[in-house]
Amino acid sequence: AQAAAECAKQSITVNILKDEPYWAINGQTYIDWENCTRALLEESKSTDKPIVIGAEKTANIQSLVQLLGFLQENGIQATQLLTEESP
Protein backbone atom coordinates (compact mmCIF):
# COMPACT_ATOMS: atom_id res chain seq x y z
CA ALA A 1 0.00 0.00 0.00
CA GLN A 2 2.93 2.32 0.69
CA ALA A 3 4.25 1.90 -2.84
CA ALA A 4 0.78 2.59 -4.24
CA ALA A 5 0.53 5.76 -2.15
CA GLU A 6 3.94 6.94 -3.38
CA CYS A 7 2.95 6.11 -6.92
CA ALA A 8 -0.27 8.14 -6.61
CA LYS A 9 1.64 11.36 -5.95
CA GLN A 10 3.52 11.10 -9.24
CA SER A 11 0.75 9.63 -11.39
CA ILE A 12 -2.98 9.44 -12.01
CA THR A 13 -4.22 6.16 -10.58
CA VAL A 14 -7.35 4.62 -12.04
CA ASN A 15 -8.73 2.00 -9.67
CA ILE A 16 -10.72 -1.00 -10.91
CA LEU A 17 -13.06 -2.08 -8.10
CA LYS A 18 -14.94 -5.34 -7.58
CA ASP A 19 -18.15 -3.56 -6.56
CA GLU A 20 -20.10 -0.69 -8.13
CA PRO A 21 -19.23 1.92 -9.28
CA TYR A 22 -16.28 -0.29 -10.48
CA TRP A 23 -13.93 2.62 -11.25
CA ALA A 24 -12.24 5.36 -9.25
CA ILE A 25 -9.59 7.98 -9.99
CA ASN A 26 -6.96 8.48 -7.29
CA GLY A 27 -9.33 6.69 -4.89
CA GLN A 28 -12.35 8.90 -5.67
CA THR A 29 -15.38 7.06 -7.02
CA TYR A 30 -17.81 8.56 -9.51
CA ILE A 31 -21.55 8.10 -9.87
CA ASP A 32 -21.21 6.28 -13.21
CA TRP A 33 -18.87 5.41 -16.09
CA GLU A 34 -19.66 8.63 -17.98
CA ASN A 35 -18.70 10.87 -15.05
CA CYS A 36 -15.56 8.83 -14.39
CA THR A 37 -14.38 9.04 -18.01
CA ARG A 38 -15.13 12.77 -18.17
CA ALA A 39 -13.04 13.32 -15.03
CA LEU A 40 -10.26 11.11 -16.38
CA LEU A 41 -10.12 13.06 -19.66
CA GLU A 42 -9.90 16.36 -17.77
CA GLU A 43 -7.27 14.98 -15.40
CA SER A 44 -5.14 13.52 -18.21
CA LYS A 45 -5.28 16.75 -20.24
CA SER A 46 -4.39 18.99 -17.30
CA THR A 47 -1.19 17.16 -16.36
CA ASP A 48 1.54 15.08 -17.92
CA LYS A 49 1.51 12.59 -15.04
CA PRO A 50 1.47 8.98 -16.25
CA ILE A 51 -1.66 6.90 -15.77
CA VAL A 52 -1.39 3.81 -13.59
CA ILE A 53 -4.19 1.25 -13.42
CA GLY A 54 -4.70 -0.42 -10.05
CA ALA A 55 -7.04 -3.41 -10.09
CA GLU A 56 -8.50 -5.23 -7.11
CA LYS A 57 -7.74 -8.92 -7.41
CA THR A 58 -11.43 -9.85 -7.57
CA ALA A 59 -12.46 -7.00 -9.89
CA ASN A 60 -14.43 -7.91 -13.01
CA ILE A 61 -12.17 -8.25 -16.05
CA GLN A 62 -14.89 -6.53 -18.12
CA SER A 63 -14.33 -3.31 -16.12
CA LEU A 64 -10.63 -3.44 -17.03
CA VAL A 65 -11.38 -4.16 -20.70
CA GLN A 66 -13.82 -1.23 -20.82
CA LEU A 67 -11.20 1.10 -19.30
CA LEU A 68 -8.45 -0.08 -21.66
CA GLY A 69 -10.76 0.44 -24.65
CA PHE A 70 -11.58 3.97 -23.48
CA LEU A 71 -7.91 4.83 -22.99
CA GLN A 72 -7.04 3.50 -26.45
CA GLU A 73 -9.92 5.38 -28.14
CA ASN A 74 -8.73 8.62 -26.56
CA GLY A 75 -5.02 8.10 -27.18
CA ILE A 76 -4.25 7.97 -23.46
CA GLN A 77 -1.22 5.91 -22.54
CA ALA A 78 -1.39 3.78 -19.40
CA THR A 79 2.12 3.16 -18.12
CA GLN A 80 1.56 0.47 -15.52
CA LEU A 81 -0.96 -2.10 -14.32
CA LEU A 82 -0.84 -2.88 -10.63
CA THR A 83 -2.76 -5.81 -9.15
CA GLU A 84 -3.19 -6.92 -5.57
CA GLU A 85 -1.13 -9.96 -4.73
CA SER A 86 -2.58 -12.92 -2.87
CA PRO A 87 -1.32 -13.17 0.71
Coil, helix or strand for 30?
coil
DSSP annotation of 50 reads: P
Tens-digit pLDDT profile for residues 19-59: 999 999 999 999 999 999 999 999 999 988 999 999 999 99
At residue 35, the pLDDT reads: 97
E strands within 1-87? Answer: 12-16, 23-25, 28-29, 51-55, 78-83
CA dihedral over 80, 47, 73, 64, signed as positive or negative = positive
Residue 9: CA atoms inside 13 Å, Cβ hemisphere, count? 5
Q: Tell whether the model's pLDDT for residue 10 goes beyond 60.
A: yes
At residue 79, the pLDDT reads: 83
Confidence category of residue 84, pLDDT binned at 50, 70, 90: confident
> What number is the average pLDDT over the span 4-29?
85
Q: Round the average pLDDT of the chain to a whole number and report it.
A: 88
- In angstroms, the CA 49 to CA 46 distance is 9
**Could you tell me which of 61, 27, 66 has the C-alpha nearest to residue 43?**
27
